[in-house]
A and B are shown apart, each in its own frame.
Chain A
């Protein structure tokens, strides 16, 4: 049971980190960025490729993967979102264009085999791969019958520190004030002299860098990196998390991430692993029907 609780905290941190990026974009733009899960996958895939195929050091690979993810944020903004914003298209159009970009990223990784166009990016096709042991320090302790792996333990402080930094930036800096103003009313923000387009690009960069980092942590701690980890592991769960916490609320997304981790682990313990995902979604469905404003609706209703 102790081990299960540890697992819940650890998987919850990854869900929370992923969902914070998701909810940041939703809070500012009112758009669900469905390419976010592809960026998550790209973070893990780029790290693996740099370490295993290009022989770079693990830390350099992590930095480059985060840079690549942040760059994808710019791609999302300039290709998928800005042209549609200029045309005042409905939000659902942006949903479709981000789906298109996710399709491109996943298909490019999926086709990466030796000798193909994308061989520099990925060589394992659709197969899941795991980082070879020894690429990163992974001390393991045994305390009171629990196994503590360094790679999994590191996930928790890294996520919490990043979310605290983001919370600080949002609350107390000029950039954060600008972002909150854009979230409240883009037109009024523009009239107040805020460069809305620049802030939105920045939002996408931050959100994608966080998503990419979540992917790296996921790949390092759980292994099984494949083109489909974003789609299968976090895409829909990320949605569940931001709804649990109240749409667009960063503290809500953090709490929702841990909550979903606990719900899933509890479902596995009480009902067996078959129903794990089903229970999480049944809970989501009931939550929405009974408390549409999110679990922390009343207090955390303010955005970001």
Chain B
């Protein structure tokens, strides 16, 4: 409760004392947006942490060995993640649904367990020290880029690309028969998602003094998926709201103490049961109808 009281009574002190948390919310929001792009185009791709790892390691290694400026490091990391995104996306995007999800899990696990843990340059299992990190100063970069990302995605979803993605999500075959180049638009979504994740990884590495290889595994991808789905994956703002909600949950429910895992699990179930479409999305609360409660009258004949 103290957390919320401070937020409303003393925003300036709140901002100063929670800078790192706010930056982390920003990073998580960008990650959730990266997940949003693939979900919006109807693909359950879980590759985000892999691209994050690429962005983070590229940025930190450039800084360590070449002492290049931060902006260039993050940009290179992002671009590299995009290139890998094309290389991974081309073979993988033939798969649908759960198969795509598992193939992308295979990709991130092979990357983190097979490549990162075995290359001498990445510090193997020990991770990388990043002495030039700036945990508090990164907040402006993160928040500004989050605003830019959300705005760009909003414009994209309202344009030709967004309509193509919606069509593919709703019915791939119908979209194809309308002359939409399904493979191309899916690849675009995958690469945009990879670029966003790579950027988030690069920016996050600037906030921490240490790049931990264990950060980029399956638990992270499950977390990011939860942000996007719980927030609502039909609207650009949904993933941001989801990331905000879930990242601040442990602080809002500080009384739960050690039992925060139990509490957040219960809240997760409750939210998804009452709002299966996500927090941001059309429609009101979905209440579960007991068996004895009369069913609502359906006026129009249903096709399903």
Write the residues of chain A forming the contact surface with B, with a CB cutoff of 8 angstroms.
Answer: 26, 32, 34, 79-80, 83-84, 86-87, 89-90, 92-93, 95-97, 99-104, 106-108, 110-111, 116-117, 231, 235-236, 239-240, 243, 247, 274-275, 277-279, 281-282, 284-285, 288-289, 292
Most buried by A among B95, B226, B265: B265
Which among B95, B115, B226 is the interface contact of A288 at CB below 8 angstroms? B95
B63 at the interface (CB under 8 A from A): no
Contact A285-B106, Cβ < 8 Å, known A93-B272, A97-B269, A292-B95: yes
The docked-state distance in angstroms from the alpha carbon of A289 to that of B94 is: 8
The docked-state distance in angstroms from the alpha carbon of A275 to that of B113 is: 7
Which residues of chain A come closer than 8 Å to B219, judged between CB atoms?
231
B276 at the interface (CB under 8 A from A): yes
CB atoms of B106 and A292 under 8 A apart: no
Which residues of chain B come closer than 8 Å to A274, judged between CB atoms?
117-118
Contact A236-B109, Cβ < 8 Å, known A79-B269, A275-B118: yes
Q: Which residue of B lies closest to A294 (CB)?
A: B99
Q: Which residue of A lies closest to B91 (CB)?
A: A289
Task: State how many angstroms separate the Cβ of A287 from the closest Cβ of chain B.
Answer: 8
Please name 15 pairs of A and B residues whose Cβ atoms are closer than 8 Å in the assembled complex, sorted by A.
A84-B276, A89-B272, A97-B273, A99-B226, A103-B261, A103-B265, A104-B261, A107-B260, A108-B261, A116-B258, A236-B109, A285-B103, A285-B110, A288-B92, A288-B102
The docked-state distance in angstroms from the alpha carbon of A102 to that of B117 is: 28
Within 107-137 of B, Cβ neighbours of A (below 8 Å) are at 107, 109-110, 112-115, 117-118
3 closest Cβ contacts across the A-B interface? Answer: A107-B261, A278-B114, A89-B276
CB atoms of B286 and A288 under 8 A apart: no
Contact with A along B204-221 (1 / 0, CB 8 A): 000000000000001100
The docked-state distance in angstroms from the alpha carbon of A90 to that of B267 is: 19
B222 at the interface (CB under 8 A from A): yes
Which residues of chain B come closer than 8 Å to A108, judged between CB atoms?
261-262
B13 at the interface (CB under 8 A from A): no
The docked-state distance in angstroms from the alpha carbon of A92 to that of B276 is: 9
Which residues of chain B come closer than 8 Å to A235, judged between CB atoms?
218
Which residues of chain A come closer than 8 Å to B266, judged between CB atoms?
100, 104
Q: Which residue of A lies closest to B268 (CB)?
A: A100
Contact A281-B114, Cβ < 8 Å, known A80-B269, A111-B258: yes
CB atoms of A99 and B109 under 8 A apart: no
CB atoms of B269 and A284 under 8 A apart: no
The docked-state distance in angstroms from the alpha carbon of A231 to that of B265 is: 15
Which residues of chain A come closer than 8 Å to B229, judged between CB atoms?
92-93, 95-96
Known: A107-B259, A277-B114. 17 other contacts (CB 8 A): A34-B222, A90-B276, A92-B229, A96-B272, A97-B268, A101-B269, A103-B268, A107-B265, A239-B105, A243-B102, A274-B117, A277-B109, A281-B110, A282-B110, A288-B99, A288-B103, A289-B92
Q: Which residue of B lies closest to A286 (CB)?
A: B106
Q: Which residue of B lies closest to A187 (CB)?
A: B304
The docked-state distance in angstroms from the alpha carbon of A87 to that of B281 is: 15
The docked-state distance in angstroms from the alpha carbon of A243 to that of B114 is: 20
Task: State how many angstroms separate the Cβ of B35 from the closest Cβ of chain A.
Answer: 11
The docked-state distance in angstroms from the alpha carbon of A113 to that of B169 is: 47
Write the residues of chain B forming the contact surface with A, with a CB cutoff of 8 angstroms.
Answer: 44, 91-92, 94-95, 98-99, 102-103, 105-107, 109-110, 112-115, 117-118, 218-219, 222, 225-226, 229-230, 258-262, 264-269, 272-273, 276-277, 286, 288-289
CB atoms of A285 and B107 under 8 A apart: yes
CB atoms of B272 and A84 under 8 A apart: yes
Q: Which residue of B lies closest to A276 (CB)?
A: B113
The docked-state distance in angstroms from the alpha carbon of A275 to that of B124 is: 11
Which residues of chain A come closer than 8 Å to B259, judged between CB atoms?
107, 111, 117
The docked-state distance in angstroms from the alpha carbon of A90 to that of B232 is: 12
CB atoms of A84 and B106 under 8 A apart: no
Most buried by B among A101, A235, A289: A289
CB atoms of A247 and B113 under 8 A apart: no
Task: State how many angstroms separate the Cβ of B278 from the closest Cβ of chain A.
Answer: 9
The docked-state distance in angstroms from the alpha carbon of A236 to that of B107 is: 12
Contact A92-B262, Cβ < 8 Å, known A86-B289, A281-B114, A288-B102: no
Which residues of chain A come closer than 8 Å to B117, judged between CB atoms?
274, 278
Which among A99, A284, A285 is the interface contact of B222 at CB below 8 angstroms? A99
Which residues of chain B come closer than 8 Å to A99, judged between CB atoms?
222, 226, 268
Q: Which residue of B lies closest to A277 (CB)?
A: B113
CB atoms of A247 and B98 under 8 A apart: yes
Task: State how many angstroms separate the Cβ of B264 from the closest Cβ of chain A.
Answer: 7
Task: State how many angstroms separate the Cβ of A237 from the closest Cβ of chain B.
Answer: 10
CB atoms of A32 and B110 under 8 A apart: no
The docked-state distance in angstroms from the alpha carbon of A106 to that of B112 is: 24
Q: Which residue of A lies closest to B104 (CB)?
A: A285
The docked-state distance in angstroms from the alpha carbon of A282 to that of B106 is: 6
Which residues of chain A come closer than 8 Å to B288, judged between CB atoms?
83, 86-87
Task: State how many angstroms separate the Cβ of B61 from the closest Cβ of chain A.
Answer: 20
Task: State how many angstroms separate the Cβ of A298 from the closest Cβ of chain B.
Answer: 16
Which residues of chain A come closer than 8 Å to B44, judged between CB atoms?
92
